Chain A
């Protein structure tokens, strides 16, 4: 074995240019794959983070019927049972965000329009999605205040300014009439018109009072330290609750359309990645074929003097392993600083592209991921492809006609 290793290793450096070309093929394939997947995963993570922080959170505790019929009648009681179930897994939960929300009719004098009223704890929302950063006029309420903060679109369409009164009418808990009037204390601006034109915020306690649902929530959002724990933790917390009344849902269950869109996008990326792998594979294959033809006579002589085919095949395979390993490690070494640079300094997208992202509620920048599994998976994939290509000389050795090879 030592002899095979020695021969394989020394053969690598015998024709440095050939080895350099093959290693370079592997290196470029790894770098391209890492940069591509880092960009794709970074963008995906950016979207996921946006969805999680702006809408669903990682997990929501809800009334068991709320998801299928999201009405105020299915607001859950924020009971001791819920508090305890959540606090039992407190080491995995960064913070929780209680919300009560529902559609209402908002009006000022003779103008009215449908709005979406959210009862919130502002400091919790700020942790989750920096809501206060979107404040353009006035101030954000505290938990015990009694004024509303509204979207710019709502203000424009109802001709509301700071200090004006907004009248809200809606359906309260168990058929109660929900009605109230609140001074406008602040105006927010959102990137999405849908949010701008519909959102009205009240302090949680005031909104519960408005909906005649004291101590009730539509959802208790849980923000985790580790997003990957969502499904496991959701199940654990659900098992702690009386499932006749309560359930838990992860962001994946709450946003099935987004998940389907991600899966479709992932499939496209996989096709692109495989095109890259195939191109890389042929690049490596080309140098391997050249190497084989250059060394046919040498192989013939080695087999003539007594080296067994399996031993010669072993040398070829070891050479491929060495080349692939060096190429992959070099590719990771080159690829990491590139993606790390863009991880620290994301690419700011030009106007049109940027606006499209803003429309989706995203920052107009291309972010990169430095998750270790990108490097491991891409490195191993290219390594495996190089190994498969490396089987060509092995197959050739087993089929080699010793005499004609030795005469080449």
Chain B
């Protein structure tokens, strides 16, 4: 299987605090295409920092993040914007969507930034919204959708541009059980059907139970890296 992300000796130290905080310590991990991985650990264990660093939102203090043969740890910010746009999908905990755009427009947004042809873009956005079960909400604005529906639109948007991998930072944290299961069903299905690599940071046992790989971080270091057969 193709390696999508490889981190070596990845460390992150926050020095703008009274005492330096070692958020990541020498993390060496590889993620293969199509994996469904949950990054777990207690609060302050470095889950979000790890996602930020491999997502190119934050720079490591030391180490490398190799994506598609490129070390994004040394990349300039202006190039990183473009790299994120073309290679990485994001799903955040809440307020994911652009409030003034409809579901269709939100899903099309990244493809629009990528300057994809309008016809293909609309077709793909429609298709993704159908896949997440929102074909009847194409023209609804975020304020007209429930929290679960908004997260499904966010997933559709993250996957629509066919990124190398999708990073989801506690996407189910604000959802009720039914919405969370619904979202996880959709993401599991898309993970299989589209062979997209999904990496979650989560506390949510419902997510952990679906993940085929669970990496536990403790104090910024990898404590456990377990594989599960979920078939």
Task: List residues of chain A with CB under 8 Å of any chain B CB.
Answer: 3, 7, 10-11, 13-14, 297-298, 301-309, 311, 402-403, 406
Contacts and interface: CB of A to CB of B under 8 A. Distances in A.
Interface string B4-28: 0000000000000000000000000
A199 B92 CA distance: 89
27 contacts: A3-B109, A3-B112, A7-B98, A11-B100, A14-B99, A14-B100, A298-B95, A298-B98, A301-B90, A301-B92, A304-B57, A304-B90, A305-B84, A305-B85, A305-B90, A305-B109, A305-B110, A306-B81, A306-B86, A306-B110, A306-B113, A307-B81, A308-B78, A308-B82, A403-B57, A403-B58, A406-B57
Given A309-B81, A403-B57, A406-B92, A302 B112 contact: no
Contacts of B131: none
Interface residues of B, number: 24
A302 B92 CA distance: 11
Contacts of A11: 100
Given A301-B92, A306-B110, A306-B113, A403 B99 contact: no
> Which 10 A-B pairs have CB atoms at the shortest separation, nearest pair first?
A306-B85, A10-B100, A308-B81, A306-B113, A14-B100, A306-B84, A403-B57, A305-B90, A304-B90, A403-B58
A10 B101 CA distance: 8
Contacts of B98: 7, 298, 302
Task: Give the residue among A297, A298, A311, A402 with the most B Cβ atoms within 10 A.
Answer: A402
Given A304-B90, A306-B85, A402-B57, A7 B95 contact: no
A303 B81 contact: yes
A319 B179 CA distance: 35
A309 to B, nearest CB: 7
Given A302-B98, A306-B113, 8 more contacts: A7-B100, A10-B100, A14-B99, A301-B92, A305-B109, A305-B110, A306-B85, A403-B52
Contacts of B78: 308
A13 B101 CA distance: 12
Interface SS, A side: helix
Contacts of A303: 81
A297 B110 CA distance: 18
Contacts of B82: 306, 308
A31 B62 CA distance: 58
B61 interface: no
Contacts of A7: 98, 100-101
Interface string B63-101: 000000000000000100110111000101001101111
B99 A301 contact: no
A403 to B, nearest CB: 5
Contacts of A402: 57
Task: Give the residue among A301, A304, A305 with the most B Cβ atoms within 10 A.
Answer: A305
A7 B96 CA distance: 16
Contacts of A309: 81
Contacts of A308: 78, 81-82
A402 B84 CA distance: 13
Contacts of B86: 306
Contacts of B110: 305-306
Contacts of A298: 95, 98-99
A304 B114 CA distance: 14
A14 B97 CA distance: 14
A308 B84 CA distance: 10
A307 B113 contact: yes
Nearest to A2: B112
A331 to B, nearest CB: 26
B50 to A, nearest CB: 13
A378 to B, nearest CB: 32
A304 B101 contact: no
Nearest to B55: A304
A19 B81 CA distance: 30
A11 B141 CA distance: 13
Nearest to A305: B90
Interface in B39-61: 52, 55, 57-58
A187 to B, nearest CB: 77
A259 B96 CA distance: 64
A368 to B, nearest CB: 42
Contacts of A302: 98
A181 B86 CA distance: 104
A3 B101 CA distance: 10
Nearest to A308: B81
